[in-house]
Amino acid sequence: MTEIPMTPPRSYRRRHVIPGFGLTMGITIAYLGVVVLLPILALILKAAGLSAAEYWAVISSARAVATYKITVGSALMAALANAAIGLLLAWVLVSYEFPGRRVLDALVDLPFALPTAVAGISLTALLGPNGWVGQFFESAGIRLAYAQPGIVIAMAFTSLPFVVRTVQPVLEEFDPEAEEAGVMLGANDWQIFARVIFPSILPAFIAGCALSFARSLGEFGAVIFIAGNLPMETEITALLAVIRLEEFEYPAAAALASVMLLAAFVMLFITNAIQLWHLRYVRGD
C-alpha cells in the first residue's frame, strides 16, 4: 500500500482567487496615485505659485486665523463629545440585548449614507430659532444655529460613526475571561473597565477619536447651512477656501487648503505615534 505524502511536492503552487502580489500592488499604487496623490500634488503645485511672503500673507490674515480658531475649536469639541458618546454607544450595542438594538445599530451609519447638505438643512430646521428644539434654547437666550454650537453639533453628527465603528469590533472580540478574572480578584465594575477593558480598546479608541477630529476639520456641507457663515465669527476654513475659488484666487485657495492638509498629516502622525507607543508599552519594549 502506497503512503500518501504529507507534504505537497515542490512543484505545487498555491492558487489564489486574487492575482499575484505584483499585479495587485501595482493596481493599488496606481489607484492611490490617481485618487489621492495626484490631487495633493496639484494642490501643492498651485500653492507653490505664491511667493513665501504672499503665501504667509494669505494663511496668516486675520480672517484666515479666525477660521482656524473656529474650525479647530469646533472640531475638538465635536471629537471630545463623540469620544464619550461614541464609546458609550459602542458599549451599549455590544454588551446588551434590547428591543430596537438592530435599528439603533443601523442608525449609527446614517451620517455615512446621508448627504452632508441634507444633514445641514435638517439640523438647521431642527436647531434654528423657530425649530423644534432651537426655539426652546432661543427663549432661554442660547442660540444653537448660526453660532458655534451649531457648528459643533453638525461636526459631531457627521463624525460620530468613526468612534463607534472603530471601538465596537474590538469590544466584540474582547475575551470575557479577563473580565471574569477581575471579578474573582475582587475588582469592582469601574476598576475592571479602567484597568482591564479600556487598555485593550485604547488604540482603537484613539484611532476613532482622531478620525472623528480629522473628519470634523474637513466637514463642509453640513456646516455651511447651520453656521451662518459670518466672517470672523462663524466662518470655517473650508468655506473661506471656496470663497477664494469663487473669486478666482486659485493660489490663495490652494494655500488655505494646504493648511488643512498639513493639519490632517499632523493628526495622522500623532495618532500613529500614540498607537506605536501603546504597542511598545503593552509588549514591554
Distance CA 157, CA 119 (A): 8
Residue 12 binned pLDDT confidence (cut-offs 50, 70, 90)? very low
pLDDT bin (cut points 50, 70, 90) of residue 3 is low
Q: Which three cell numbers stand for residue 135?
A: 426655539
Q: Which CATH class is domain 51-283?
A: mainly alpha
Distance CA 91, CA 171 (A): 7
| Residue whose C-alpha is closest to residue 227's, from 121, 110, 76 | 121
Domain ranges for the chain, please list them: 21-50, 51-283
**Residues 228-263 pLDDT 10s:** 888 899 999 999 999 998 889 999 999 999 998 888
Pair 50, 58: CB distance under 8 Å: yes
CB atoms within 10 A of CB 237: 25
Could you read off the pLDDT of 187-227 as tens digits, one per residue? 777 877 778 788 888 888 988 998 899 899 888 989 999 99
Residue 228 backbone zone (phi > 0: left; psi -120 to 50: alpha; other: beta): left
CA–CA dist 35, 176 (Å, integer): 42
User: Quick one: CA dihedral 58, 59, 65, 71, positive or negative?
Assistant: positive
Query: What are the tens digits of pLDDT across the range 80-134?
Result: 999 999 999 999 999 888 898 999 999 999 998 888 889 999 999 999 888 899 8
pTM (two decimals):
0.83
